[in-house]
Structure 1
Amino acid sequence: MSPPPLPVVLRGLAKRFVRDTSETVVALDQVSFRAEQNTLTALVGPDGAGKSTLLRILAGLVPPDAGQAEVLGLDVAAAPQAVQNRIGYMPQKFGLYEDLSVQQNLDLYADLHGVPPDQRREIYHSLLTMTALAPFTSRLAGALSGGMKQKLGLACTLVRSPDLLLLDEPTVGVDPLSRRELWDILRHLVHQQGLTVVVSTSYLDEAEFCGHTVVMHQGRVLAEGTPAEITARAAGRVFLASAANGMAARSLQAHLFRHPEVVDAVPEAGSVRVVSTSPAPPQEGLAELALQFSPTEPRFEDGFMVLFRAVAREQHSSAIVLSRPPAAPAGSISVEVRDLVRTFGSFTAVNHVSFQVKRGEIYGLLGPNGAGKSTTFRMLCGLIPATSGTLRVANADLRTARAAARARLGYVAQKFSLYGDLSVDENLDFFATAYGLRGHRKRERIDWAKEQFDLGALSSLASGSLPGGYKQRLAMAAALLHEPDILFLDEATSGADPLARREFWGRITALSEQGVTVIVTTHFMEEAEYCDRLVILDSGRALAEGSPADIRRHGQRSDGRPVTMEDAFIAIVENWRQRQEAS
């Protein structure tokens, strides 16, 4: 008997798209790889790498321009319906019906896939147990948290047992606790049920859960292999650095990341994790810092950055310089939140939360989906009023002077929030006018923004067509035109490539050093290391507050490795939820 065909075989796959401007975009360029039976294969790379296009071709939704894609032994281009009858595919925006309950969504997808009624009880029991959604079958899908929606989407995808499961960024925008739960489910599907899964992700730590990884960038495969094989590319070149003069880790990171002997640098547990271009730590021009380097074991992200930095565009990161630093004295309070409450009918979204943020601090709001972060954020920005409590921002009471406070604030949203049809110059002109800038002052500030963020060569391009990193620069430039005292960043690095994220935080560090106060939300727990202090919320309550070192003390590991921010975050939330259940 001949062995069954491999679940996925790609040979020289290519795909191009033509935009409205007649510009040709290369989505896939000579992509080849295989996914073995009963394995978990990860497509790893930033936005624009080609991961979603590749999965859509495998699902028979988009035909390739060249090359061949075989799924379960079938040529997808020749027999897309036959492929679709045997696979499960969950796109980034899975089509849950939010005005239907959990049970009604499952019934709908069972109807669509022709699952016989006599088989549904057993299937539903298995799926609801696996996803821990059994207690919520009568809840409307629109009332679920982000993590629960993703698990329901996965259950609907699995309602007809597929031979191959394709998942496109299933954990995007999902908090660390929900991400871990979702990956536990995927590993169970592969190791206990023998399912073959191909999943795309921009979270590099998730690759460690997979048997095979395919690293992609701008439509090409940079490398493939086991996570250990990718990690090994950084072997002997990873160090933890600290400065004898007590320089903050984020300031040291910004300094080291621009060094020619450094492949990567990120804050880690009060030090800076450095990937060097050679087996020796960087030395040139660093003597005055009296750095101490200690070797450490590489991880997948280190190997990824060795690959990625070799082919990605050069960064033009420079220390941002304000022409008018904030006038508030050092050590003064920029944000004061005391006993803050926000209710929506009978639901309490924020429940007596209190904290203070000093001038020039970077302060993080962290928490699971549905914790109350966004509601708190919107109140701090003056977008919605508080139900009760004290909320002062830039020395203005937001209950009585929201307009005055907003004039002192800058805001960068999670999704690109500028006008995609307008050019870079037109966006900057529009927002400068909206912030009250006129005449010579407006022209001066727009020139400053374009110079600081290296946007001059892109002035006439539609902002919607910019690469992700440049969209991020433009959003930041627009937010800083009026030189705000306080900058709000709402998941501002979501979807950005690793280099763009490092560059972004280098600019934030420079702003904080000049006195700008920064309030940030993020689901990247490693980014919490850039904060001076942070608070972890759940169910509208503040569970823990302090420096990154204070927060890490709540975590523990059994493998002897240092406790990460994600370890501590999960421990804090789980311990609190267990106490709530016990009471």
Structure 2
Amino acid sequence: MNAQTDYIVKTENLTKVFPQKDGTSVTALAPLNIEVKKGVLSALIGPDGSGKTTLMRLMAGLMLPTEGRLTVLGKNVAEEPQAVQNELSYMPQKFGLYEDLSVEENMNLYADLHGIPQDIRPERFERLLNMTGLSPFTKRLAGKLSGGMKQKLGLACTLVRSPSLLLLDEPTVGVDPLSRRELWEILKSLVASDPISIFVNTSYMDEAEMCADVFVMNRGRVLMEGTPADIRALAKNLCFSVEPPETVPTRVLQSLLLDDSEHIIDAVPDGGRVHFITRGAEQSPVLDNFSLTAEAVPERLEDGFMLLMHKDLKENPDLSAPAVQSRDDKILKEQKRITSDAGLPVDIEVKNLVRKFGDFTAVANTSFSVHQGEIFGLLGPNGAGKTTTFRMLCGLLPATSGYLNVAGVDLSVSRTKAREKLGYVAQKFSLYGNLSVLENLRFFGGAYGLSGETLKKRINEVIDEFSLHGRENDAAESLPGGYKQRLSMAAALMHKPKILFLDEPTSGIDPLARRQFWRQITDLSAHGTTIIITTHFMEEAEYCDRIMIQDQGRLFAIGSPEGIRDELGLKHAPMNEVFITIVENGRKEEHK
């Protein structure tokens, strides 16, 4: 290849600065110099607010750089934005499907917008529908599709023009592991069979592992570019794994290891064990306290990513970055694994729960209980009935039949009384965007009945607890994703609820922010708060005392992550593998 054709995107001292209303400015991209190779699948990874989406919008010609040069498809974007847009397709985080149009009508609409001739549409549509598995659903309204199917339709609409460059901004946020796997098989087949380059921004490290090249960003700068193997190599000989004692939750051992910053760089639950990165040969005193010995394990791309993040933070301290510490180490160390026979009070009891919408059964005859201080995970593919179950537990949706008791209140009698004892963090940011952080906290504190000095004291507590210092006067809508999530948590906990409901709270959030989030959840659980969570990050199931996996309204499995793995004969297997095995086996049984 010559110099003109070996890259699809090139930046030369590219800078983007956003002026603010108060006369200040925010630098989203510092002078950036990268080359994105042609004809391959490349990934962009980094924490919230690192400039990833800004870079993709610049590439798509949707905004102009402040300084520097950006060449896409051999053209200067600042000089020829329309010419660039004619040859690429861009799928943003919130792709504009028309929910009252069918699958086929949405595709025709985008074909009209791009001027695709009628005579080539049938063949192209057939290929895209077969590739995405949407062929049986061409007449179904987009609003009636599951989350995974909507993403596939968005991809099909993006590809109706056969672009030379495909830009995907977090295409799998809120998508279950089965649908993610299918979507990535499509992307890999596209690169293998078509003359196309794909550049994808993702929060999933396993997705970045499948790419030929990976760019790691932080605070507007590229920290490293290389193959997944290059980034993994940063953590060579530094990665270990240890199995906690039978009575100690993996999340507790993880949190204690993270507190030992002298010896440990990072730690995360993995396959019933704790995977961690060490600073050297000396074993952490935390392991000595439990008489544990770790074993060396292969490094992962996520390990290299975490090392880059910590190195950058050390060399360029970010005073606004959260420093999450356990609030009470003694209580944390004394927390034991919560089981169904632990003798703890039951905070949620569900018996023969059914919810129907007309002839459609969203939840079919489900029974389970959740104990005080337990972290209980609701897992399942898109369309499994998780959100319906969740909404019934929160008192937001009445059950068709069955018994549901939450926080000591029969929900068929008084849903309002139960909600006084609950906190709720929605999947989508649901606070008031035009209000400041402080104004949101005042509003929600008042809504929960707090006032005067009590309200003021509680606001100060949650600002400290969730590291919101310096952001008090920022409009909520202007916050990076990680800060929005922390503000949502702070607002939900203003009244110190007995039970906290979290609906995909870490969707689209990077690994660093997820570590900090789960340390806070671990502390809440240690202090007796009961946590109910839905998530599509299967590794987060490792933090749960028990999980429930359902599909198409039916309960397929319930138990501790370790117990479910043992039943399947998949000891220490990643939870992604466990989840996919259970759902696929359950679907086979359903179709017998």
8 Å CA contact 1:244–1:290 kept in 2: the answer is: no
SS in 2 for 1:292: coil
SS in 2 for 1:382: coil
Which residue of 1 is the match for residue 169 of structure 2?
168
Which residue of 1 is the match for residue 403 of structure 2?
390
Are 1:289 and 2:290 matched, yes or no? yes
Which residue of 2 is the match for residue 476 of structure 1?
489
8 Å CA contact 1:11–1:31 kept in 2: the answer is: yes
Which residue of 2 is the match for residue 334 of structure 1?
347
State the distance in 1 between where 2:170 and 2:479 align.
22
- Aligned partner of 2:580 among 570, 574, 581: 570
> What's the offset of the Cα at 1:307?
0.3
Which residue of 1 is the match for residue 502 of structure 2?
489
- Aligned partner of 1:506 among 484, 496, 519: 519
Q: Deviations over 1:10-33 (max 9, x none)?
A: 222111112334442211112222
Q: Deviations over 1:536-583 (max 9, x none)?
A: 1111111111111133346688xxx95210011111112222333x43
Check 1:468–1:281 CA distance in 2 against 1; reply closer, same or farther (3 A cut): farther
State the distance in 1 between where 2:95 and 2:440 align.
32
> What's the offset of the Cα at 1:380?
0.7
State the distance in 2 between where 1:207 and 1:343 align.
39
8 Å CA contact 1:410–1:486 kept in 2: the answer is: yes
State the distance in 1 between where 2:528 and 2:266 align.
27
Are 1:531 and 2:531 matched, yes or no? no
Aligned partner of 1:545: which letter? I
Aligned partner of 1:241: which letter? V
Unaligned 5+ runs, structure 2: 330-341
SS in 2 for 1:357: strand
State the distance in 1 between where 2:89 and 2:484 align.
33
State the distance in 2 between where 1:252 and 1:340 align.
35
Check 1:444–1:163 CA distance in 2 against 1; reply closer, same or farther (3 A cut): closer
State the distance in 2 between where 1:290 and 1:511 align.
27
Query: Normalising by structure 1, what TM-score?
Result: 0.93
State the distance in 1 between where 2:473 and 2:3 align.
57
Are 1:318 and 2:320 matched, yes or no? no
> What's the offset of the Cα at 1:402?
0.8
Aligned partner of 2:145: which letter? L
Aligned partner of 1:273: which letter? H
State the distance in 1 between where 2:567 and 2:204 align.
24
8 Å CA contact 1:382–1:402 kept in 2: the answer is: yes
Which residue of 1 is the match for residue 199 of structure 2?
198
Aligned partner of 2:589: which letter? R
Check 1:225–1:402 CA distance in 2 against 1; reply closer, same or farther (3 A cut): same
Which residue of 1 is the match for residue 124 of structure 2?
123
8 Å CA contact 2:257–2:284 kept in 1: the answer is: no
Aligned partner of 1:575: which letter? N
Which residue of 2 is the match for residue 325 of structure 1?
none
8 Å CA contact 1:265–1:272 kept in 2: the answer is: yes
Are 1:16 and 2:17 matched, yes or no? yes
SS in 2 for 1:209: coil
Alignment of 1:247-396 (within 5 A): 247-260=248-261, 261-278=263-280, 280=281, 282-284=283-285, 287-312=288-313, 313=318, 315-320=322-327, 331-396=344-409
> What's the offset of the Cα at 1:475?
2.3
Aligned partner of 1:371: which letter? A
8 Å CA contact 2:252–2:522 kept in 1: the answer is: yes
> What's the offset of the Cα at 1:514?
1.9
> What's the offset of the Cα at 1:284?
4.6
Which residue of 2 is the match for residue 326 of structure 1?
none
> What's the offset of the Cα at 1:465?
3.5
CA RMSD of aligned residues (A): 2.3
Aligned partner of 1:191: which letter? A
State the distance in 1 between where 2:114 and 2:154 align.
14
Check 1:360–1:52 CA distance in 2 against 1; reply closer, same or farther (3 A cut): same
SS in 2 for 1:179: helix
Unaligned 5+ runs, structure 1: 323-328
Check 1:456–1:129 CA distance in 2 against 1; reply closer, same or farther (3 A cut): closer
> What's the offset of the Cα at 1:52?
1.4
State the distance in 2 between where 1:454 and 1:80 align.
40
Check 1:411–1:281 CA distance in 2 against 1; reply closer, same or farther (3 A cut): farther
8 Å CA contact 1:262–1:282 kept in 2: the answer is: no
State the distance in 2 between where 1:276 and 1:211 align.
28
Check 1:467–1:372 CA distance in 2 against 1; reply closer, same or farther (3 A cut): same
Which residue of 1 is the match for residue 337 of structure 2?
none
State the distance in 2 between where 1:321 and 1:549 align.
27
Which residue of 1 is the match for residue 243 of structure 2?
242
> What's the offset of the Cα at 1:408?
0.9
State the distance in 1 between where 2:10 and 2:283 align.
42
Are 1:547 and 2:569 matched, yes or no? no
SS in 1 for 2:243: strand
8 Å CA contact 2:203–2:511 kept in 1: the answer is: no
Stretch of structure 1 that moved more, 109-118 or 538-547: 109-118
Aligned partner of 1:296: which letter? V
Which residue of 1 is the match for residue 428 of structure 2?
415
8 Å CA contact 1:556–1:567 kept in 2: the answer is: no
8 Å CA contact 2:324–2:516 kept in 1: the answer is: yes
> What's the offset of the Cα at 1:311?
2.1
SS in 1 for 2:79: coil
> What's the offset of the Cα at 1:439?
3.5
SS in 1 for 2:209: helix
State the distance in 2 between where 1:225 and 1:180 align.
23
> What's the offset of the Cα at 1:243?
4.1
Question: Share of identical aligned residues, percent?
Answer: 55
> What's the offset of the Cα at 1:244?
4.8
8 Å CA contact 1:555–1:564 kept in 2: the answer is: no
8 Å CA contact 1:554–1:568 kept in 2: the answer is: no
State the distance in 1 between where 2:470 and 2:371 align.
37
Are 1:90 and 2:97 matched, yes or no? no
SS in 1 for 2:395: coil
Aligned partner of 1:209: which letter? M
Which residue of 1 is the match for residue 335 of structure 2?
none
8 Å CA contact 2:170–2:508 kept in 1: the answer is: no
Q: Deviations over 1:303-356 (max 9, x none)?
A: 10000122244542122469xxxxxx9611110111111122222211111111
8 Å CA contact 2:244–2:274 kept in 1: the answer is: no
8 Å CA contact 1:556–1:563 kept in 2: the answer is: no
> What's the offset of the Cα at 1:175?
0.8
State the distance in 2 between where 1:32 and 1:211 align.
19
State the distance in 2 between where 1:207 and 1:77 align.
29
Query: Normalising by structure 2, what TM-score?
Result: 0.92
State the distance in 2 between where 1:307 and 1:269 align.
24
Check 1:4–1:463 CA distance in 2 against 1; reply closer, same or farther (3 A cut): closer
State the distance in 1 between where 2:484 and 2:235 align.
30
8 Å CA contact 1:553–1:568 kept in 2: the answer is: no
Check 1:246–1:290 CA distance in 2 against 1; reply closer, same or farther (3 A cut): farther
8 Å CA contact 1:556–1:568 kept in 2: the answer is: no
Are 1:425 and 2:435 matched, yes or no? no
Q: Deviations over 1:228-247 (max 9, x none)?
A: 10011011000012345842
State the distance in 2 between where 1:488 and 1:468 align.
19
SS in 2 for 1:273: strand
State the distance in 2 between where 1:159 and 1:421 align.
37
